[in-house]
Structure 1
Amino acid sequence: MYQMYLGFLLLVWLPAVLRAKPAAQRCHAPLLSGGFFVPGNEFFSHGAKVTYSCNHGQKPVSGGWWATSTCQDGQWSDRPQCIDENACLPLTVPNANYAQNARTWYANGYTLRMKCNEGYKFINNDATAKCSNGAWTSLPVCQRDEYSCGEPPQVPHAVIIDQEYRELFAVDSQVTYQCEDGYTLQGGSNNMSIGCHHGNWTTSSSCSEWGT
């Protein structure tokens, strides 16, 4: 009887133990060169925050003159870091992108080469930005290419199968439609392609119910 009762307790207890979520880990005090943080504890519990500032001639990597960081299961989010006050933070240029190479900041004098998104082009072919004393200068501007096309026309009983949806396509782009099951194009094919030429999509066919 005792053994049966013990077995029943194990059946109840073991699944609960296996389902138990491990406790969140605490964080060691962050390593911060060139600045200080408060409070000055040695360990911090999960969810705890520190506020830090940097010495003269430096600034927090997130910008401004002070910043915060949070302990997240043994790691610091937005890890505290002090950088040269003349360094630049990553920038955002509308309708453009660049290879960040996981950088969180750029040294003074660094030149960044941009690339316009598909369907856009640089004004005056200026594709670079330069970090100068903590600010980006000569920011490129991407404007819509007059030869690009808007979203492809919607075709009843068909869907585009080779592209993610977007509102702008570069000149010479092509997209492929596939008819819904039970529908076909004239000639019996299920697929058709159209292209973007000088700002317009080439004419598309329609999908008709099979046998009509």
Structure 2
Amino acid sequence: MSAYQHCSVHTAQSTTESCPAPRLEAGYWVPVQDFYKHETKLPYACNKGRKPAAEGWWATSTCLNGIWSPQPQCIDEKACIAADIANAKYTEQQGSWYEDGHTIRITCNEEYDPKGWKDTAKCIDGKWSPVLVCEKSLRACGAPPQIPHAVIILQGYQDLFAAGTELQYECEDGYTVEGGDTKTSIHCIARKWTDGPVCSKWGNTLY
């Protein structure tokens, strides 16, 4: 093996560091060792009155190049872990868990509205109440119409668009819309798209 090959092997091996035993207050893990190999999955649980900062009464942390991810942590059993709300976002605090009594306010994605128009939830005895849901807006539009000899530009595909969305079509080479332009727009208004363009061959009125 050449000197270059020796160097390459040494570099690859040095990137997989082992992890020292984690520091876990008010909890325990198995098996108990001083060090754990890279990619070791270590299950842990918490003492009475505490719970893992994750779903369930036990959790798992993985050794990744000398660092435990996520860091094992036991929190008050009345605390809440970060809420997983589809099609929404909210400001998460560091640590991704919240004390009993904490209130969060969500913002649904623009194509969605909060169900029942409730946008806040409170951490009560380890659970968020009420359970927040973002549902399809009654004003949103589905996927835009497919138009022969045209494509939508400046927008990736999605199957739901917020009210007021504007999308721009462009005719393929050799085609144009009435008036000589190659581009035109449609708008989402009250669950419906406005009429789209007709792309015709130059000099023709039919496509």
Structure showing greater radius of gyration is 1
> What TM-score do you get using the length of structure 2 for normalisation?
0.86
1:195 matched to 2:184? The reply is: no
1:37 matched to 2:29? The reply is: yes
Equivalenced residue count is 201
Q: 2:176 aligns with which of 166, 169, 184?
A: 184
**Residue by residue, what CA displacement relative to the aligned partner does 1:43-67 show, whole Å, maximum 9, x if unpaired?**
1111223222212211111232222
Cα distance change, pair 44–143 in 1 and its aligned pair in 2 (3 A): closer
SS in 2 for 1:16: helix
Q: 1:138 aligns with which of 130, 134, 147?
A: 130
- Aligned match of 1:61: 53
Q: 1:16 aligns with which of 5, 9, 20?
A: 5
- Aligned match of 2:121: 129
Query: Any gaps of 5 or more consecutive residues in structure 2?
Result: none
SS in 2 for 1:109: coil
Q: Is the 8 A contact 1:160 1:178 kept in 2?
A: yes
Could you tell which deviates more after superposition, 88-97 or 78-87? 88-97
Letter in 2 for 1:22: A
Cα distance change, pair 173–98 in 1 and its aligned pair in 2 (3 A): same
- Aligned match of 1:71: 63
Deviation at 1:146, TM superposition (A): 2.2
Name the structure with the higher strand share.
Answer: 2
- Work out the CA distance in 2 between the residues paired with 1:177 and 1:146: 25
> What TM-score do you get using the length of structure 1 for normalisation?
0.84
Q: CA RMSD in A?
A: 2.1
In the TM superposition, 1:75-86 aligns within 5 A as 75-86=67-78
Query: Any gaps of 5 or more consecutive residues in structure 1?
Result: 1-11
Q: Is the 8 A contact 1:87 1:134 kept in 2?
A: yes
Percent identical among aligned pairs is 44
- Aligned match of 2:160: 168
Could you tell which deviates more after superposition, 36-45 or 167-176? 36-45
